[in-house]
Amino acid sequence: MPANDEEKDQKLNKEYTAESITVLEGLEPVRKRPGMYIGNTATEGFHHLLKEIVDNSIDEAMAGHAKKVDIVVHPDNSVTVTDDGRGIPVDVHKQTKKSALETVLTVLHAGGKFGGDASGYKVSGGLHGVGAAVVNALSEYLIAEVRRDGKIYIQEYKRGKVMTRVKEAGKVPKSDTWQRGTRITYKADAEIFTVYEFDIKYILDHYRQQAYLTRGVHLNITDERNGFSYQYYFEGGLVAYIQHINRNKVVKSQPMYVAKTVDQVFVEVAVQYTDEFSENVLTFANNIHTPEGGMHLTGFRSALTRSLNNYGVKNGYIKEADKITGEDMREGLTAIISVKLPNPQFEGQTKAKLGNAEVRGYVEDVVGEGLEFWLEEHPSDAGKIMEKVLLAAKARMAARAARDAVIRKGVLEGLALPGKLADCSESDPGKSELYIVEGDSAGGSAKQGRDRRFQAILPLRGKILNVERARLDKMLGNNEIKNLVIAMGAGIGDQFDIEKMRYHRIIIMTDADVDGAHIRTLLLTLFYRHFPEIINRGYLYIAQPPLFRVASGKSFKYAFSDKERDQVIAEFAAGAKEKKNAKAAKKEAAEGFEVKEIADAAPEQSGEVVVKGVNIQRYKGLGEMNPEQLWETTMDPAFRVMLRVDVTDAERASKIFETLMGDEVAPRKSFIQTHAKTVKNLDI
């Protein structure tokens, strides 16, 4: 290592010592209430542990002290995270009387991100209310290795308890490419988690995003379970990110990029227009995704509206009195807004919204100045953008006329609800639910089988319009969509008000076949693109009707999958064994109840298959169930199974909807070819 690099490292190490570590509070009994710290003990919580450890390494990169982060998933689903940062200090912390390393790993809210001095972190994304201590507490074991000042230090833990003190394990070999930094190896505790297997796709998607947001960092991911390795490095940063998002779209302009630091707040924004009708804006604060936006989003929108209007008036696209609204500016807009600031103030436990008021002004000034300069320097792109927003303005006027027609119709008819809607008697939206049912036949069964007090039924006739490429005026020309909008009662577009929702559970109930899946996808596209707040509030559900009715004699059970059907058959077989001696029962089970006989069963007739000793009815559609069956299997709150629709990754969800429902055929064809072999129960 060159002498000047050694001197630099020594200086950094002297600045970043145990004095940099500030302790806010002791470690709470995390193992007793893990959900309080990581949300849940299922998939999200399991992956959140990794996120906490990697975020600490990315914080080192954001601070300019690390250039490389390695993530290795081992065959037993333990994981190792290594960075080439400064390395967690190992000297004794005067407040805790422990080493700084042990303090960080055993005391909640301990780290170099609270003190506020220059030796810690100016910006950080690792403060999610958890920290490395919670990862340690919820791990079967954790091993920390630190390399500082040419020496190797190691400490081991088990379920959060110290097994060894920090011990020096020798000098760093000069030939080793890893000279300094921190390496954490841990395995999530199977006693705590219901899921303990890493989803490599989730990891890749999340850390690809982090690599875009932290320009110049090398992020390497290795999955030893299958031997694959992945490397992310994006010198282009946000510009590369926005090009990745729009790679399958028709773009109207090249990306606009602006970056500037104002009063210790780094503002970085990339903007590009496409021919889409919806907007796609991603906001981040210290690399933390803020799905509900906040002050940085507000500042951006103000600057965008002002700059485009000023340019339009100046260059004759619009008149002073006819300035365009912000809604028109956002049609087809793709934007990434990233701010990095010393003391972020997030609203809510989920950190979904940035609340720092001063950030609004900083973003507005930086984007306004940068965008106005860019428009003047790129007149061809600016012209295409103005054409896009002017077309959006015309479409908005037509859409408003269509929407107002719907509203006027409601007023003239005394706010009449759709004639096909069988409403409930309950007036409290929190206790009411609306079933959107495929077809009049299933709608009739649902109306008869429901609990009229709190369950409303709205049958759909055929397939609704694909709204992925449709403006509001065309949408409201579709009777099924119009009926749904009126039934929900909250309006649509800029008039949408979530507080006016007539039901706080909207349940999509379709057949378990290809047509049913298509209708379900069309409805999900509608809600995702035009009613995202319904999803964010947790109001949207998907009903799970059973696929089979399995009967033996007078006994019967419902099964929701092939596996569950086979389990029910096995249960009936076990019941038969109790009536005979062991030898006879074994013979009967083998001859009459073997699951493999399903493949050799008589041809299906009217949805019913007969297996020796067992009758299996395969429901082709909801209409095949009588009202009592539909109630007891799919609508009775005491026994029904429903999936709540949740969007944890907006970018990934948007990409899926574009692939499945957009105009481009090639991406959809590729998706079908990739997943064709995994499709089960395909009805042709």
Phi, psi of 395 (to 5 degrees): -65, -35
List the catalytic residue out of 15, 19, 372, 513: 513
The DSSP-derived string for 45-61 is HHHHHHHHHHHHHHHHH
Q: How far apart are CA 500 and CA 503, in angstroms?
A: 9
The bridge status of strand 540-543 relative to strand 505-509 is parallel
Would residue 564 show up in a list of annotated catalytic residues for this protein?
A: no
Q: Are 363 and 259 in contact (CB under 8 A)?
A: no
The rounded distance, in Å, linking the Cα atoms of 2 and 252 is: 49
Contact 436, 413 (CB under 8 A): no
CB-based burial, 412-431: b 16+ in 10 Å, e otherwise:
eeeeebbebbbbbebeebee
Structure tokens at 363: 């973003």
Q: Contact at 8 Å (CB) between 1 and 75? A: no
Containing H/E element for 524?
helix 514-530
- The single residue of 102, 438, 480, 658 carrying the catalytic annotation is 438
Give the rounded distance of the alpha carbon of 257 from its chain centre: 26
CA atoms of 491 and 507, how far apart (whole Å): 18
Question: Residue 404 — φ and ψ, nearest 5°?
Answer: -65, -35
Q: How far apart are CA 436 and CA 457, in angstroms?
A: 6
Q: Which of 456, 457, 387 is nearest to 425 (CA)?
A: 456
Q: Angle formed by the axes of helices 650-661 and 514-530, to 10°? A: 130
Count of CB atoms situated within 10 Å of the CB of 179? 16
DSSP for 199-255 reads: -HHHHHHHHHHHHHHSTT-EEEEEETTTTEEEEE--TTTHHHHHHHHTTTS-BSSPP
Tokens of 199: 């989803």
Choice among 515, 533, 651, 663 that is catalytic? 515
Q: How would you class 499 by CB atoms within 10 Å of its CB: exposed for 0-12, middle for 13-18, buried for 19 or more?
A: exposed
Place of tokens 């090398």: 218
Pairing of β 228-232 and β 256-262:
unpaired
Query: Which residue in 70, 276, 331, 511 is the catalytic one?
Result: 511
Q: Mention every residue, 6+ apart, whose C-beta is less than 8 A from residue 539.
A: 501, 503, 504, 505, 506
Contact, 448 vs 627, CB < 8 A? yes
Residues 6 or more apart whose CB falls under 8 angstroms from that of 625 comprise 445, 545, 619, 633, 634
Task: Specify whether 263 is catalytic.
Answer: no
Measured CA to CA, the distance from residue 531 to residue 524 in angstroms comes to 10
Query: Reduced to 3 states, what is the DSSP secondary structure of residue 647?
Result: coil
Q: Are 238 and 270 in contact (CB under 8 A)?
A: yes
How far apart are alpha carbons 113 and 396 in whole angstroms? 47
| CA atoms of 285 and 296, how far apart (whole Å) | 8
Backbone angles phi, psi at 409, to 5 degrees: -60, -40
- When computed from its CA atoms, the radius of gyration of the chain, rounded to whole angstroms, is 29
Question: What is the distance between the alpha carbons of residues 208 and 191, in angstroms, rounded to a whole number?
Answer: 31
What gap in Å lies between CA 50 and CA 563, rounded to an integer?
Answer: 32
Amino acid at 391: L
C-alpha span between 135 and 38 (Å, rounded) = 9
Tokens for 188? 């999530």
Q: Which residues are catalytic?
A: 438, 511, 513, 515
